[in-house]
Structure 1
């Protein structure tokens, strides 16, 4: 080994004619061989070494070191000392030949290459780990941002299309995060708008249909009188008046329906006797019922003799509800039929029931009786069947009071309409 090291150092000096920069070569050789190596000049002074005297250690014997003279073209240019396998990053002192000027002088220690290699490796590992983590983080953020931005762009595009009138826009929900919740909200909003638009169009179409027939009839009567086909007698005038009243009632019902559906609809709430309100409504329809041979009865329930508890209601609106229910019952009850009105109270609510012995409602039509412009029997004339708005208005007014309304019917035996109001109406105004 000493011969190989000596040969390498000889070639190094021969190529450079000096020991300048030999430290890196010594470091590599020491690292590869695991030996302590030092180079001395021709005077025995260390060229690549560091003193240990600053650590306060005594010079130790160098008998376990191997030395060799470095010769170039027969000239002595220095010496090399090779120690055993290094366990510490130091060299022991070299006493040299007899009367050496450096005898007993401690050599300066050489930095152990393996430690530097360890620190370099650790630094490179940390550097690459940091770079890898940074690149991974950037990639992850980029992917997440791209996904979020893609969802936001899709929502934005759908919102623009929705604003242009395309109410069929829907966006696929991609997750349960905030973007997913926003997407679900957007879809619900779009569905609500589409449903409202569909109802509006149906409403316009239905109203146009309802208006067309009486207007056509009035026009026909007027043109017939003008052309001399009909005489302007009492019958013709009565028919024209009947069609005109139907139009007037239809317009009033539409106005009332729009009023109840408005966001700023207000009730004029005040304590009132519900029995009195219902009784007055029944009395108002007695002449019409008697003219058609229909009997109307009114009962206040099992507790009629008990002191009546007033309820907080809008009297005018509840009278409208009763008028619509009674008119519907009279319309669908034949002569010699009966209409019963009753009030039942409980601890928390009061219920009003209007039942008749009329023709009844088919079970397949029962769920739709409160829909606007819905008539169970489309063949029934508008003068006798109405426009199909009365029950819709009654439902809107009852629900505005915080109550509920329902319908029961047996075909051929009659129908029962019941609306229930809470006794204590709080914060409804």
Structure 2
């Protein structure tokens, strides 16, 4: 089975989530309607029974309490019948206008007994009365509570019941008329109303689900399309197409930054690959030069053109040492751990610098390049010479590489100036850093090349080559110097020299005296 794409997964996830939410919405709506419809119906029914409220208030006014209803259940049944008249003698000794308004009969004759008389009313009941009160079960759901919420008559109050306060002429609450919700929606009208509302909820939810699905399709395509483009770009990079670039998005800041980062990464990989190929070509040329010279010497001896003597052996040895140096530089540049000093101890860096100058003095004279060392006079005494914590062999290697770099890339007739000092701050106090500045004459290095001089695979342009046609070193010397200096806790930087060439500044931490 073919694996689903990220966009398809996002769409299916949103679809399932929306469908579950829709089902939950319909389920909760159905439960809410079923539970809320009963109390709502009770509220409507109770609002249509103002006549009963007036009757109960009159009963309380005539008797001064609810005792007559509590002790006489027949009177409670008679009060809640809208088509019946109550004789005032039964309710008390004070007739009221409210009883007459409710359709109650006038005073009975002398030969009638003082009990509740039930007779047809002389006029129709109020329009708000419900003729079906006794037949539809409403009477069984009515209840009367006193002001303290104590049951006087009727069924106990249920959750969701509707209530209307009963008040006396002074406006004080004397009780509550309660209408309990129906136990079930048994009537066809109630069921039809519920089904109609659920159908409306279902239709609205389906329309919302469809709209949400369409929106999810658009959002999934809009949001995840850049991810697909990034995946395609990553595959292109993995296949070796380092020139791959992705157009940056303008409508999404997050994706724009992501694509910009991807393009930067691709640019760096492309630059590194270009530098690697260039370095491999340069290394092949460097290795080919001593090998070609050695081959020519050996073939000349084999053909009898030249005899093998001390001069031939010296030339072969020189080319062999050159080859060994190239291989050593390559190995040390790749394995940075081998550059780290094996042992750190107090030492005099000026001694290592002077030994490196002496070792290369003859080659400077042969190339026609002068070398000059500047140092404070007091350093001539060992007691005043600066001391650093380092490895003498490794620092000697750094000084040799830096001096030879100037020798290799300085035109004949030029000069190398080496200035040594102790760093001082603006207040003139002695600092804790030993500085060595190497300045040589033309040719120089462009500003664009300066940040790359200490990269392992970088070599300068042809303008920084010797006039003798020598292509110089392997492009590893300055990278090795930087690794050694950093292992000593120091710093090395490159800049354009005031003499027209290159300035190398080396900084090492001084030991406390």
TM-score by length of 1: 0.59
The structural deviation recorded for 1:250 is 1.7
Q: Is structure 2 residue 435 aligned with structure 1 residue 351?
A: yes
Distance 1:150 1:287, change over 3 A: closer
Distance apart, 1:322 and its partner CA: 1.1
Deviation, structure 1 residue 253? 1.9
CA drift at 1:345: 2.3
Q: Is the 8 A contact 1:350 1:421 kept in 2?
A: yes
Q: Does 1:404 align with 2:489?
A: no
CA shift for structure 1 position 198 = 2.4
User: Is contact 1:349–1:421 with CA below 8 Å preserved after alignment?
Assistant: yes
User: How far does residue 205 in structure 1 lie from its aligned partner after superposition?
Assistant: 1.1
Contact 1:343 1:352 in 2 (8 A): yes
Q: Would the aligned equivalents of 2:444 and 2:502 in 1 still touch at CA under 8 Å?
A: yes
- Aligned: 1:164 with 2:239: yes
Structure 1 residue runs of 5 or longer lacking an equivalent are 1-52, 62-85, 94-104, 425-429
Q: Does 1:416 align with 2:493?
A: no
Task: Give SS of 2:506's match.
Answer: strand
Secondary structure of the corresponding residue to residue 127 of structure 1: helix
Displacement after TM superposition at 1:207 (Å): 0.7
SS of 1:283's equivalent in the other structure is helix
Task: Name the SS of the counterpart of 1:382 in structure 2.
Answer: coil
CA contact (8 A) 2:82 2:131 kept: no
Which of these residues, 404, 408, 426, is aligned with residue 327 of structure 1?
404
Structure 2, gaps ≥5 residues long: 1-76, 86-125, 139-185, 425-430
The runs of at least 4 aligned residues of structure 1 exceeding 6 Å deviation read: 105-121, 301-309
- Maintained 8 Å contact 2:417/2:438: yes
Structure 1 residues 219 and 265: alpha-carbon distance in aligned structure 2, compared to 1, 3 A threshold: closer
Report the equivalent of 1:270. Answer: 344
Secondary structure of 2:335's counterpart equals: helix
Residue number in structure 2 paired with 1:196: 272
Moved more, 204-213 or 227-236: 227-236
Kindly state the Cα deviation for residue 201 of structure 1 after the two structures are TM-superposed.
Answer: 1.6
Where does residue 205 of structure 1 map in the other structure? 281
Q: Residue deviations 1:284-326, cap 9 Å, x none?
A: 4325416755454351588998967754445443322111112
CA distance in structure 2 between the partners assigned to 1:283 and 1:343 by the alignment: 18
* 2: CA distance, partners of 1:319 / 1:407: 22
The within-5 A match list for 1:63-142 is 123-142=198-217
Q: Distance in 1 between matches of 2:376 and 2:237?
A: 53
- Which stretch shows the higher mean deviation, 112-121 or 290-299? 112-121
Residue 481 of structure 2 is aligned to residue 394 of structure 1: yes
Per the TM alignment, residue 208 of structure 1 is displaced from its structure 2 partner at its CA by 0.8
Tell me: CA distance 1:123–1:295, structure 2 relative to 1, closer, same or farther (3 Å). closer
Aligned to 2:82: 58
Alignment check: 8 A CA contact 1:289 1:330 kept: no
Q: Aligned in 2, Cα 1:199/1:340: closer, same or farther, shift over 3 Å?
A: closer
Q: Does 2:226 align with 1:226? A: no
Residues 1:419 and 1:60: Cα distance change in structure 2 (over 3 Å): farther
In structure 2, the residue corresponding to 1:228 is in which secondary structure?
coil
Distance of aligned partners of 1:309 and 1:242 in 2 relative to their CA distance in 1, 3 Å threshold? closer
CA distance in 2: counterparts of 1:299 and 1:126, whole angstroms: 93
**Is the CA contact 1:289–1:296 (under 8 Å) kept in the aligned structure 2?**
no
Name 1:47's counterpart in structure 2.
none
